[in-house]
Amino acid sequence: MRTRDLSELAVRNLREAVLRNSLTTLGVAVGVASLVAMLSLGVGLQTLASQRLTRSGLFDAVFVTSQRNFRGPRQPPPPDSAAKRESRALDDDARQQLSKLSNVTEVYPQIRFVTDVRYAGKSESTSVLGLPDSSRSSGAFEGMTGKYFSSPTAEEAILQIEFAKLLADQPSSLVGKDLTLRYAERAALSKDADDEALLDSMMGSGKPGGISIVPREKTLRIVGITESDPSAGIGGFGGARVYLPLKTAEQLHVAQPDDVQAFLSGNPAKPSYMAMTVRVRSPKDVPQVEATIKQLGFATFSLLDATKSLRVVFTVFDLFLGLFGSLALTVASLGIINTLVMAILERRREIGILKALGATDRDVRSLFFAEAGAMGLFGGIFGVALGWLIGSALTWGTTIYLHRQNLPGVKISYVPWWLALSAIGFAIIVSLIAGLYPASRAARLNPVEALRYE
Amino acid sequence: MPTAPMLIQAESVSREYRLGETVIRAVDAVSLRIEQGEFLALLGSSGSGKSTLLSMMAGLDRPTSGAIRVRERNLAELEADELARYRRETVGMVFQSFNLLPRMTLEENVELPLRLAEVDRSDRQSRVGEALERVGLAARRQHRPSELSGGEQQRGALARALVNRPAILFADEPTGNLDSANGEQILLLLKEIQDSLGMTIIMVTHERPLAERFANRIALLSDGRLVSDGAQR
Ligand SMILES: Nc1ncnc2c1ncn2[C@@H]1O[C@H](COP(=O)(O)OP(=O)(O)OP(=O)(O)O)[C@@H](O)[C@H]1O
Ligand SMILES: [Mg+2]
């Protein structure tokens, strides 16, 4: 029989026993729906977690320090083996070199300094951090009072709320006001007599080509007050209270602790950085990039191990969800087997007639097979839709709950196209396997006996 | 009919059913030669083996021993698929209980053998129409079997048996469920088909008067054995 005739007959047979077949199909659909809902939850939560983690900048970043540094901020001591390699200064050359490595998307230095902040006659000493423009999308500024920096070079500041409370009783009233930073600038030794005199007074004797350290002031407009601590991700290790755009912070040329070291070592010409953050394309690129950077002679640190164990957790999570979903589908396929076996008993006579009219065993087998496949197809499509609905309802419920807690909503359930397609495919395959036994039993039926059957 | 070519040749055909220790010989060493264009009636009391013999000649069942040659091919030796093809292309069948598929309309029932034989869709409608025309049911194409009388159902079944233009028509008590008027109508149709299409017809029946009126030849079975075989008129 031709495929078109076969499918016509199969659909017609399914239509004729609408109630029983749609109940069976519904069984498949419920199985597929629970599979899809569970996996979509797994995928959704995983996407959510990895999105958050990626955006936080913790897991796709390698923190680079020079082995020469006296100390990094809470940096683990470099391993002994690495210490044997030639150590390198973390200067602008290094920055260029690092940004050229493959899979590296962004390299920025850590500009962090402790300084005096003045506002309305008050003076507070605090830690200041430069934020790269990419921190805009890190998620750390969600729900912030005010706005993010208007441009990467804006002379603006964002305050951490605890610090803002020190400056004003109403932290939100600070937005739009100006504050003043007092800091020490590192400048190449100029011919400015005043500066030279100052340096002499500070350092004892100035050498030609040396550096000077000059006190400066900078006025910044406060644009935002944030409750979270964005420096925890972006800068690496937290604790800063005032944030500036990275470029603005760089242009201040604030003296870094190792400028003093550079000054003393007599090689003060090139400014170097305390630490750099190297962002890579995806967390899985971290190990390779980290190894390359170590080869170049820098000390590195990354949080990759944390993502690894997270992935293990999610894999196990997915496995269990899939297991329960498959259980549901197994029950559904038992339903298919039952329906088709019952159909054989009921349709014995029909099978006998078909055979008397010249149907081959294969025709009969294909017919039953096609009916099982069609139930799988319809059940699969319906089940994916149902599963998607369940997932959406969960997302909807969670979002309402989160809004009540004054938190932004999240998408916890996500049905990617591959999940939808493979769920339908899975439903068809399971249905065909379920149809295997009934179909071959129907095909083997002896036509004479089948025709005698009333 | 000395010159007509031989169509079916049963040679010492037996069919046994084993029920535990006992062996039932439903058909016992029957030899029968049927020429093309014959109208043979198989008579015999209930349980004499008529249906069993017919099923074997129609390729629905296989003999336990012996050979059934149709156009020099031994049905007993055919593969299952070749036997199905024989039923599809060479044979048409009607039964006592009309055996139309209740879920299909009359025309869909008649189209079924064409589907199985993979006849082109473009040819199907005209062939279905032709077959229904022949049995006088052209107006009832869209009706379901339950909407037809017994006689109409049997005529529909006859149309379905003819639609593939088979060489041999097997009928197992085609009038068994019909009153005498409808039964006679069916037999008139069979006779007409035999005459106009030159079809060979083998019919099982209980009713000797009908057999004597319409068949060319009557074979009598008793306890699975062929006890008499003679031409009519
Ligand atoms: N599947 C079977 N198992 C056992 N015995 C069978 C089977 N089929 C038929 N028989 C036996 O074979 C014998 C012949 O049966 P068959 O159906 O050919 O008779 P029949 O001449 O067609 O009778 P009727 O006129 O009642 O239709 C009977 O005795 C019957 O009981
Ligand atoms: Mg019988």
Q: Same domain, yes or no, for A188 and A227?
A: yes
Identify the closest residue of chain A to B105 by CA–CA distance: A12
DSSP string, chain B: --SSPEEEEEEEEEEEEEETTEEEEEEEEEEEEEETT-EEEEEE-TTSSHHHHHHHHTTSS--SEEEEEETTEEGGGS-HHHHHHHHHHTEEEE-SS----TTS-HHHHHHHHHHHTT--HHHHHHHHHHHHHHTT-GGGTT--GGGS-HHHHHHHHHHHHHTT--SEEEEESTTTTS-HHHHHHHHHHHHHHHHHH--EEEEE-S-HHHHHHH-SEEEEEETTEEEEEEE--
Adjacent-strand bridge partners of B221: B44, B226
Q: What are the φ and ψ backbone dihedral angles of A42, each rounded to 5 degrees?
A: -60, -50
Torsional sign, CA A75, A80, A82, A88: positive
**pLDDT tens string B86-123:** 999 999 999 999 999 998 999 999 999 999 999 999 99
Q: Looking at beta carbons, which residues of chain A come within 8 Å of B60? A: 355-356, 447-448, 451
Contact B115 A354 (CB under 8 A): no
Q: Looking at beta carbons, which residues of chain A come within 8 Å of B84? A: 355, 358-361, 363
The answer to whether residue A358 neighbours chain B at the CB level (below 8 Å) is: yes
Question: How many Å apart are CA A92 and CA A161, to the nearest integer?
Answer: 33
- Which of A270-284, A376-390, B77-91, B157-171 has the least mean pLDDT? A270-284
**pLDDT tens string A24-70:** 888 888 888 888 888 788 778 877 777 776 666 667 788 888 765 44
Contact A73, A274 (CB under 8 A): yes
Report residue A145's pLDDT band, with 50, 70 and 90 as the boundaries.
confident
pLDDT at B147 over 70: yes
pLDDT at A206 over 50: no
Q: Same domain, yes or no, for A331 and A182?
A: no
Closest C-alpha among A224, A244, A207 to residue A164: A224
Task: Please give the model's pTM, rounded to 2 decimal places.
Answer: 0.66
Ligand 1, pocket-test mutation among B13, B24, B46, most atoms within 8 A of CB:
B24
Q: Same domain, yes or no, for A121 and A173?
A: yes
Give the residue from A303, A333, A356 where a domain finishes: A303
Would you state the pLDDT for residue B233? 59
Would you state the pLDDT for residue A306? 62
Other beta carbons within 10 angstroms of residue B153's beta carbon come to 24
pLDDT at A78 over 60: no
pLDDT at A83 over 70: no
pLDDT at B224 over 90: yes
Give me the residue label for tokens 């004499």: B48
Give me the residue label for tokens 């983690």: A53
**pLDDT tens string A404-435:** 887 777 778 878 888 899 889 988 988 888 88
Closest ligand to the CA of B50: 1
Q: What are the φ and ψ backbone dihedral angles of B117, each rounded to 5 degrees?
A: -85, 5
Would you state the pLDDT for residue A85? 46
Identify the closest residue of chain A to B88 by CA–CA distance: A358
Q: Same domain, yes or no, for A76 and A49?
A: no
- Count how many pairs of residues, chain A against chain B, have C-beta atoms within 8 Å: 66
Report residue A453's pLDDT band, with 50, 70 and 90 as the boundaries.
low
pLDDT at A309 over 80: no
Would you state the pLDDT for residue B84? 95
Q: Same domain, yes or no, for A132 and A149?
A: yes
Give the residue from A269, A303, A337 where a domain finishes: A303
Identify the closest residue of chain A to B58 by CA–CA distance: A356
Tell me what percent of the residues of chain B surpass a pLDDT of 90. 90
Give me the residue label for tokens 């495919």: A425
Q: Which atom of ligand 1 is nearest to the CA of B54?
A: 18
Adjacent-strand bridge partners of A185: A214, A254
Q: What is the DSSP letter of A174?
A: G
With residues binned 3-state (H G I as helix, E B as strand, rest as coil), the percentages for chain A, rounded to 5, are 55, 20, 25
More confident residue, B44 or A113: B44
Report residue A176's pLDDT band, with 50, 70 and 90 as the boundaries.
confident
Q: What angle do CA A91, A96, A101 make, to 5 degrees?
A: 125
ipTM over 0.90? The verdict is yes
Closest ligand to the CA of B22: 1
Structural domain harbouring A191: 61-303
Give me the residue label for tokens 């008529």: B50
Mean pLDDT of A11-36: 83
CA dihedral A97, A100, A103, A109 (to 10 degrees): 50
Report residue B186's pLDDT band, with 50, 70 and 90 as the boundaries.
very high
State the number of CA atoms in the 13 A half-sphere of A351 facing the CB. Answer: 30
pLDDT at A180 over 50: yes
More confident residue, B229 or A239: B229
Question: How many Å apart are CA A355 and CA A167, to the nearest integer?
Answer: 93
Would you state the pLDDT for residue A57? 66
Ligand 1 pocket member B22 (CB < 6 A):
no
More confident residue, A442 or A214: A442
Pick the CATH number of B36-60+79-228 from 3.30.379.10, 3.40.50.300, 3.40.50.720, 3.10.20.310: 3.40.50.300
**Mean pLDDT, chain B, as a whole number?**
93
Contact A398, A44 (CB under 8 A): no
**pLDDT tens string A321-337:** 778 777 877 877 787 77
Ligand 1 centroid to A160 CA: how many Å? 97
Adjacent-strand bridge partners of A179: A220
Would you state the pLDDT for residue A75? 47
Nearest CA of chain B to the CA of A453: how many Å? 11
H/E stretch holding A387 reads helix A361-404
Ligand 1 pocket member B105 (CB < 6 A):
no
Q: How many domains does chain A have?
A: 2
- Which of A211-220, A366-375, B58-67 has the least mean pLDDT? A211-220
Contact B84 A9 (CB under 8 A): no
Other beta carbons within 10 angstroms of residue A407's beta carbon come to 13
Tell me what percent of the residues of chain B surpass a pLDDT of 70. 98
More confident residue, A233 or A419: A419
Contact B84 A349 (CB under 8 A): no
Report residue A17's pLDDT band, with 50, 70 and 90 as the boundaries.
confident
**Mean pLDDT, chain A, as a whole number?**
79
Report residue A261's pLDDT band, with 50, 70 and 90 as the boundaries.
low
Q: Same domain, yes or no, for A38 and A131?
A: no
Q: Same domain, yes or no, for A362 and A444?
A: yes
Give the residue from A303, A330, A351 where a domain finishes: A303
Would you state the pLDDT for residue B38? 94
Report residue B177's pLDDT band, with 50, 70 and 90 as the boundaries.
very high
Candidates B88, B116, B122, B164, partner chain A, best to mutate (most A CBs within 10 A): B116
pLDDT at B69 over 90: yes
